Amino acid sequence: MTAACVEARHLIGGRWIGAERTARRWNPARGDELVSVAPVGDRNIVDEAVAAARASAPAWASMTGEARGAVLARTAGALRARASEAATLIAREEGKTLAEASGEVGRAAAMLEFYASLGRQPLGSTLPSADGSMHLYTTREPVGVVGLVTPWNFPIAIPVWKAAPALVAGNTVVVKPASIVPGSMHLLAECFEEAGLPAGVLNVVHGSGGEAGQALVEHPEVDAISFTGSGAVGRRINITAAERMARVQLELGGKNGMLVMPDADMELAADLCARGAFGLTGQACTATSRVVVMEGDEQRFLDALVARTMQIRIGDPLDPDTTMGPVVTEQQLRTDVSWIERALADGAELVSGGVASGSFLTPTILRRVEPEHAIAREEVFGPVLAVMVARSPEEAMRIMNGTEYGLSAGIVTSDLAAAMEFSRTIDAGVIKVNRLTTGTDVNAPFGGMRASSNGLFREQGFSATDFFTRVKTTYVGF
Ligand code: NAP
Ligand code: MG
């Protein structure tokens, strides 16, 4: 297995640019293996990247959608050709297992293919007019230069699900990837270049959120910002963007619940909860992080859940037998552990897991969690699952809707009426019946309610281009 170090560069106006100031990323599963080195960009580099994006905007916008789509299709091909290299890099840099990383790469390629096809889809409509001698129609124009700020947990898929709809709609972009996963973004940028994306259409600036990220968000020449990450950072970006009237899309955290109904197949419920909570080391915005079971079902459910969780093999993401990788950083591990300690102090009981060693944390199940406990309400972003008991269906729904978040939610039941009622009353952007709270189709809208999103626009699917376009209405009298 190759253990090469990726030397990431900024990509600005088609040129790969290094810097004296660099940041290093070590493999979280093998502390002594250097995975990537990246330049640390400052305000000046952001200025250059935005200028390059601005300069290339008119030519890119005036190309046909079909031609722009063709570039995305070739990017998908380039990424598929490097799929195994990309998956290995993600596994080494971010820490998800090789199987999970392969899934991410495949999904990113599918996303590129989906948006490639949108180059041929209508963007606008024809309307009947009150004037009989009028041709009335709307068109959608690109917004201009878009800043994309992305988190570390899907280092290729998230930049793709923002960049692909932005590009096919005719925008040019500047990406500021999460600073701990620069190598993955570098590989993706190489795929765009190999596909013949014109210089300056996609630019990448590496560096910290506080410096490069903030400079991008504040930049007066950036017309729109699409951000995925934590609520705290998202809120600040919202204020900064509002001040200068820039369009902003924020997809933030989650505290996703799974409701296990009395009629549920307990094996299925346990499987969905274990995979939803501990897959991707729990580091997914849609991870299952709380379960509500009805009184009387708790022990049966926990027995099945613990048995299923025992099958999880923690280890090096590159080992094919591993089904759960490390926590992404030492800092995140400390955060995860402190949430567990707080839960225990609040009166929760450890059912299994809770053991941290090196950069690994065993899958952690907590019971006797009350809806007002912090562990029932706050995002952990690690392999920690809180189990709560409800005494009535009404109480179950109160608990399910009882956090400030509303990203993904699931129910396990074979009662169709219960499933439909759940879908109607749950306050979440993504609802799953008898399926994982994680994972979505590329052609479906994705996003959260309440504190999980600023809620103005949805990502992914056909609706993603709403954010990246402006509507023009034209009246042609004849
Ligand atoms: P984060 O700390 O908020 O960082 C996200 C991005 O913002 C990174 O590129 C970061 O740079 C940058 N940033 C930090 N401070 C900034 C500032 N002041 N101005 C501009 N940019 C700034 O989030 P994360 O730790 O990478 O990711 C975990 C979070 O993402 C979780 O809350 C998770 O729920 C959320 N998430 C949501 C979704 C969704 O679709 N709803 C999907 C995945 C993840 P640095 O890397 O240098 O800090
Ligand atoms: Mg962070």
Mean pLDDT of 249-267: 98
Q: Token digits for 322?
A: 């591993």
285 is catalytic: yes
Please determine, for residue 21, whether its predicted confidence score (pLDDT) is greater than 80.
Answer: yes
Q: pLDDT for 266-302, tens place per residue? A: 999 999 999 999 999 999 999 999 999 999 999 999 9
**6-252+453-477 is classed in which CATH architecture?**
3-Layer(aba) Sandwich (3.40)
Q: What is the Cα–Cα distance from 69 to 73, expressed in whole angstroms? A: 6
Q: pLDDT for 359-414, tens place per residue? A: 999 999 999 999 999 999 999 999 999 999 999 999 999 999 999 999 999 999 99
User: What residue ranges do the domains of the chain occupy?
Assistant: 6-252+453-477, 256-433
Please determine, for residue 460, whether its predicted confidence score (pLDDT) is greater than 70.
Answer: yes
Q: pLDDT for 91-131, tens place per residue? A: 999 999 999 999 999 999 999 999 999 999 888 999 999 99
The answer to whether 442 and 111 have CB atoms below 8 angstroms apart is yes
Amino acid letter, 49: A
Q: What is the Cα–Cα distance from 113 to 322, expressed in whole angstroms? A: 30
Task: Determine if ligand 1 sits within 6 Å of the CB of residue 241.
Answer: no
Q: Which CATH superfamily is domain 256-433 in?
A: Aldehyde Dehydrogenase; Chain A, domain 2 (3.40.309.10)
Please determine, for residue 227, whether its predicted confidence score (pLDDT) is greater than 80.
Answer: yes
pLDDT of residue 462: 93
Q: Catalytic residue among 218, 251, 298, 379, which?
A: 251
pLDDT of residue 71: 98
- Closest C-alpha to ligand 1, atom 15: 209
DSSP assignment letter at 211: I
Q: What is the Cα–Cα distance from 318 to 312, expressed in whole angstroms? A: 15
Task: Determine if ligand 1 sits within 6 Å of the CB of residue 251.
Answer: yes
Q: Token digits for 374?
A: 């912090």
pLDDT of residue 2: 53
pLDDT of residue 31: 86
- Using DSSP, state whether 25 is helix, strand or coil: strand
Q: If you write DSSP's letter for every residue of 368-433 in order, what string do you get?
A: S--TTSHHHHS---SSEEEEEEESSHHHHHHHHT-SSEESEEEEE-S-HHHHHHHHHH---SEEEE
- For residue 149, the ligand closest to its alpha carbon is 1
Q: Token digits for 310?
A: 């025992």
Mean pLDDT of 412-429: 98
Percent of the chain predicted with pLDDT > 70: 100
Longest dimension (CA), the chain: 76
Q: Token digits for 185?
A: 């973004």
Mean pLDDT of 207-232: 98
Please determine, for residue 1, whether its predicted confidence score (pLDDT) is greater than 70.
Answer: no
Q: If you write DSSP's letter for every residue of 335-355 in order, what string do you get?
A: HHHHHHHHHHHHT-EEEE---
For residue 224, what are the contacts with CB-CB under 8 A and spacing of at least 6? 143, 144, 146, 147, 171, 246, 247, 248, 249, 467, 468
